[in-house]
Amino acid sequence: MTTIPKGLPSVIRHWIGGKLVDAADGRTFDVSDPVSNTPYAQAARGSAADIDRAARAAAAASTEWAGLSNRDRAATLYRIADAVEARHDRLAAYETYDTGLPITQARGQARRAAENFRYFADVIVALGEEAFRQGEEQFSYVRRTPVGVAGLITPWNTPFMLESWKLAPALASGCTLILKPAEWTPLSASLWPEIFAEAGVPAGAVNIVHGIGEEAGQALVDHPDVPLISFTGSTGTGRRIIRSSAQHLKTTSMELGGKSPAVVFADADLEAALDSIVFGVFSLNGERCTAGSRVLVERSLYSEFVHRLAERAANVRVGLPSDPATEVGALVHPEHYARVLNYVEIGKQEARLVAGGTRPDHLNDGNYLQPTVFADVKPDARIFQEEIFGPVVAVAPFDDEAEAIELANATRYGLAAYIWTTDLKRGHRFAHAVESGMVWINSHNVRDLRTPFGGVKDSGVGREGGAHSIDFYTESKIIHVALGDVHTPRFGADS
């Protein structure tokens, strides 16, 4: 039986205008944990009326928050970071209980979330505005202003950290906002109101509306007074958001699905590649957008690599999320678990199952799957083409660099790619040729917060991270000033 965190709320309410409130119509929905799949709390079920309340609160707070100096906003972000870290143990317990994420992996979320706030506090203080001089005749400078009320829609995997990833740059830029957390995992978001209150964030600057995506999320996208939407989630939902946003010509950033290749050449450091690939596809229960879920291996190394990968997968410790020994916990929700299991059955018809594919024998209940490896996967197989978002990996051989590039690019996704080779010239060639927004050479998924994050093709639109996030949450106005006499052609001056 999983450990139930202390202080677990029985009701998760909206946070609008600095107050905890129920849904306007009083509706709620059940929130369940992924080990027992039984409800442990009720969450307010937001509607268009709740989004409208939040939009009005955010608009009312906009002048005060945007009017602060960058340094004053940064000081508030530092206080938020301190408040997040002070709740480290509670946050980890909530995240593990609500998502099924192993406790050892959840423990880093508070640190990463706090770092997001500290980083963007530093960015906004150090950020200068561009200026241009045209000889002695004219001077031009750029003035940044907040876009206004930002709509943030976040996913259910590592929810608290990914919420901070959007909250921090939006607040740093001077935007007020409405956050719509994922309905499957709203528990850790219930910590934000006390964090923001403790940090002295003005009432209404941050508003949180819980609810179902098709209701609260759609209302947020449709609201005419929310000019910007940042979304992380599935490609299908991203397409719907972009279509809806066109009505009001909203600015959007979409970080969507992935089916990222991990390419292993015969000269690679085999142990390092194995460590990275096993961790990259099975950590976070395989529920990560940048997972290297298509492993492409040079043929001369292929048999050995498949054997070693299957062996490692079989030894991954699957267990209760609250157990520190657990490496893969319970998948987030019964609907998602059923979806992943369906892909496993599809894979059994398409390829050779060499590890996993079943529930672990010692776990009779809960959304558990033994890490699963399919070999000899063809490029047209569904498990090669479609995002599974679970502890499932597809492995295929290649004969040369050209074929490896062709296979790497042979999906509609393009979020990340991983290349393992000791030939750095080949590593760079491959990195330039692969169709993805991010590439790691001889490295696992280590990200610098200063770098752009995002994908190409069906993996998204736009970039966030570093100064790219500030660009997204602000409007740039160019102001031109004459420095000397203006010599303009005098149309119509002569009669």
- Kindly report the CA angle at 202 between 198 and 204, in degrees rounded to 5? 115
Going by the DSSP 8-state scheme, the letter that residue 329 receives in this structure is -
Nearest-CA neighbor of 96 among 313, 332, 336, 360? 332
Residue 86, Cβ neighbours under 10 Å: how many? 14
CA distance 405 to 415: 15
Backbone angles phi, psi at 198, to 5 degrees: -65, -35
From the list 84, 94, 54, 332, the residue with the least C-alpha distance to 180 is 54
Catalytic residue selected from 163, 215, 287, 289: 289
User: From CA 477, how far away is CA 19, in angstroms rounded?
Assistant: 35
95 counts as catalytic: no
191/491 Cα distance (integer angstroms): 65
Catalytic one of 183, 255, 298, 464? 255
Is residue 289 part of the annotated active site? The answer reads yes
- H or E stretch covering 372: strand 372-375
As given in the structure block, the two tokens for residue 406 are: 């062709």
Q: Which of 444, 429, 400, 392 is nearest to 274 (CA)?
A: 444
DSSP, collapsed to helix, strand or coil, labels residue 250 as coil
By annotation, the residues acting in catalysis are: 255, 289
